Structure 1
């Protein structure tokens, strides 16, 4: 297993094929960290790499004092999963100058012997809501799960996701495709290259992609405005919290 922490310089791409065609991409960077050993850069750079449990998990509930590791262990225990102290690796944006937004956070949860137990895909929308999907993936990191969270104002909460979340190595390659009636109207992907998590490397990434979490959220909103101007109606957001998602094993496409 490669050492962590690490940085991934990446390109995020969204492709919509119906009811109108639209695609956009932007460059960013992610942290890949061990929840038992979160990075602490030199003091001047800590404003570029903050990790708080309150930035993840359900938007409401839970103790603010609970660590990221304790929070994910509690979530897994809620679903009958015990890692027995195994490693949990997380891919996410860090808090930068007080700002953070993670459309997708991924946790690779390992047994004590190092084998992969589960993958947790945590989705955040621009309305401040969050939802976790508990996945039992196949050997290539693939799984399928029903959609449960209202993410886009142009997509109902229906259909299912076909997900590919292999644990990153030298390269990062994640894909989430929404499927309805056998076809994918929307696909999001993240492709990246591993970089060292040194102070110099972090500073370089931050200079190349300033305020990356805030800029990513802004780009998503700008694209939404553009789609609405092209005639896509805005759907009402469902009331109440998203339903609890049960664990889904990987299925063949």
Structure 2
């Protein structure tokens, strides 16, 4: 039986029916838990399916321009290989995979996607590609010294430099934990700003992408990107009613990547 990286490199696309949680720390507490549909694929080799297309409209689809570079002008896996190469990782022979939410009926928005650099089934690096609702994007490159394989026990730290929530300062740091297995993916991100901050998680099984599952997801969680944005704005309203102070968005960082 082929490993995950080999299957993705051979063109398979897999689904991650995930659960995401957010828990805000500090003076104003707030938490939520939702189910969200992600997928994992190798953009360089992924093959379309009956209800899933590459760079074409379908029930579900992946569009290269959505990822890897400025919003709407993405270069896909070529961008990820370039970023990793500039950081010192030779990507020749590596599988570059992406975990993201697909477009549904052409609509797209996802708060965060994850580029994975895989040597066999060893995870060598992750690029967390973060989007806010103001049209901006910033990415955080996570890896260990000398690009040693990342295990669930490893913690990687990055300074927060990007405006995500209007109710949190651009301050403190992110602490990333990744758990990639052949049949499961998990990420835990703790944002620490003194006594303030939040803990966000996303976990789910890695399963085959089947047409019946795509249809079932659309029925259970209709709306795709519209649903994601509605949930974001709904929780923003809840925070505002709890007394959280709104902070206007500054310009995005001049630097595209935090390393």
Once residues 240 and 92 of structure 1 are traced to their aligned partners in structure 2, the CA distance between those partners, rounded to angstroms, is: 22
Checking the alignment, whether the CA contact within 8 Å between 2:161 and 2:253 is kept in structure 1 is: no
Per mean C-alpha deviation after superposition, the further-off stretch among 117-126 and 3-12 is 3-12
> Equivalent residue for 1:163?
176
Partner of 1:223: 235
Match of 1:123 in 2: 130
Structure 2 Cα separation of the partners of residues 114 and 12 of structure 1: 24
The answer to whether the Cα contact below 8 Å between 1:177 and 1:184 also exists between their aligned partners in 2 is: no
More contact order relative to length (CA 8 Å, sep ≥ 6): 1
Q: Deviations over 1:11-33 (max 9, x none)?
A: 11111122311111111211011
1:167 alignment partner, SS class: strand
Matches within 5 A, 1:141-152: 142-152=155-165
Distance (Å, rounded) in 1 between the aligned partners of 2:189 and 2:254: 19
Q: Relative to structure 1, is the Cα distance of residues 77 and 172 closer, same or farther in structure 2, using a 3 angstrom cutoff?
A: closer
- TM-score, normalised to structure 1, is 0.85
The match for 2:190 among 177, 180, 190 is 177
Shift in alpha-carbon separation, 1:41–1:237, aligned structure 2, 3 A: same
Distance in 1 of aligned mates of 2:235 and 2:122: 40
Q: Aligned match of 1:75 in 69, 76, 83?
A: 83
Which residue is equivalent to 2:66?
55
Number of equivalenced pairs: 242
Change (3 A) 1:18 1:86: same
Q: Answer yes or no: is 1:20 the counterpart of 2:42.
A: no
User: Shift in Å at residue 198 of structure 1?
Assistant: 1.8
Q: Is 1:205 matched with 2:220? A: no
CA 148–12 in structure 1, closer or farther in 2 if over 3 Å, else same: same
Q: Distance in 1 between matches of 2:94 and 2:161?
A: 28
Q: Which residue of the partner structure matches residue 19 of structure 2?
A: 11
Task: Give RMSD over aligned pairs.
Answer: 2.4
What are structure 1's unaligned runs of at least 5 residues? 248-253
Q: 1:44 to 1:88 in 2, by over 3 A?
A: closer
Unaligned runs of at least 5 residues, structure 2: 145-149
TM-score (norm 2): 0.83
Deviation (angstroms), 1:122: 0.8
SS at match of 1:11: strand
